[in-house]
């Protein structure tokens, strides 16, 4: 069940990132953003990820990745809640930065746990990971269209993303992650 749940994280990631990019015209309309501000939103997220991702990856190798993944999902949900509830551009910039960084912690480290569980099968694991992400890419626009049929707006999309992130955190939170294993060099390898 843990592997199945971890394999669903790229699907969730692609659907939620689709909410941001496909729902962007709604944000322009509801929040009155211009193209420069939209570029700054995505640029701030990419810059935050560029600066913080290496530290997250290094620190997660020193302890159990479980807490990093769960923390990333909770932070992702909180960032989407902030995105849904604010009309302040500076807070929106912070929310986008948190979304990018939280995605690294949640999704990137879920991938690392799957590889760590069975290193000889890493090629097969990555193939499955890519397929799940592709399904998420396909579902994103479909879900946004279905949600918009219900006359929902930008805030509604972000609240749905928030709830989905918290639900995923709850599902993963009750599962047991594998214990750290010792590798041949005697260093601890923690999933």
pLDDT of res. 148:
80
Select the more confidently predicted residue: 148 or 53: 53
> Confidence band (pLDDT; 50, 70, 90) for 184?
low
Select the more confidently predicted residue: 103 or 23: 103
pLDDT of res. 179:
64
Q: CA–CA separation, 172 vs 104, rounded Å?
A: 16
Q: CA–CA separation, 52 vs 103, rounded Å?
A: 11
Q: CA–CA separation, 166 vs 143, rounded Å?
A: 18
pLDDT surpassing 70 at residue 191: no
Please give the angle made by the CA atoms of 84, 139 and 16, to the nearest 5 degrees: 30
pLDDT of res. 186:
47
pLDDT surpassing 70 at residue 171: yes
pLDDT of res. 160:
92
Percent of the chain with pLDDT over 90: 49
Please identify which residue in the block is written with the tokens 């620190």.
59
Render 46-79 in DSSP notation, one character per residue.
HHHHHHHHHHHHHHHTTS-HHHHHHHHHHHHHHH
List pLDDT tens digits, range 94-150.
999 999 999 989 999 999 888 888 888 889 999 999 999 999 999 998 988 888 887
Please identify which residue in the block is written with the tokens 């394999």.
7
Tally of CB atoms within 10 A around 22 = 17
Measured over the CA atoms of residue 144, residue 148, residue 150 and residue 155, the dihedral's sign is positive
């Amino acid at each position: 069940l843990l592997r199945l749940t971890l394999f669903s994280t790229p699907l969730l990631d692609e659907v939620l990132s689709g909410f941001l990019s496909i729902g962007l015209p709604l944000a322009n309309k509801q929040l009155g953003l211009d193209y420069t501000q939209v570029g700054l939103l995505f640029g701030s997220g990419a810059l935050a990820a560029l600066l913080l991702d290496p530290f997250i990856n290094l620190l997660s190798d020193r302890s159990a990745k479980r807490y990093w993944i769960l923390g990333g999902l909770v932070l992702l949900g909180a960032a989407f809640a902030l995105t849904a509830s604010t009309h302040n551009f500076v807070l929106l910039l912070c929310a986008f930065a948190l979304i990018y960084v939280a995605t690294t912690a949640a999704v990137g480290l879920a991938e690392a746990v799957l590889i760590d569980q069975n290193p000889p099968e890493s090629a097969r694991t990555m193939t499955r990971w890519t397929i799940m992400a592709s399904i998420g890419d396909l579902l994103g626009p479909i879900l946004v269209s279905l949600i918009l049929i219900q006359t929902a707006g930008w805030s509604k999309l972000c609240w749905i993303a928030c709830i989905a992130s918290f639900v995923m955190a709850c599902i993963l939170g009750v599962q047991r992650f594998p214990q750290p294993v010792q590798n041949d060099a005697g260093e601890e390898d923690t999933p």
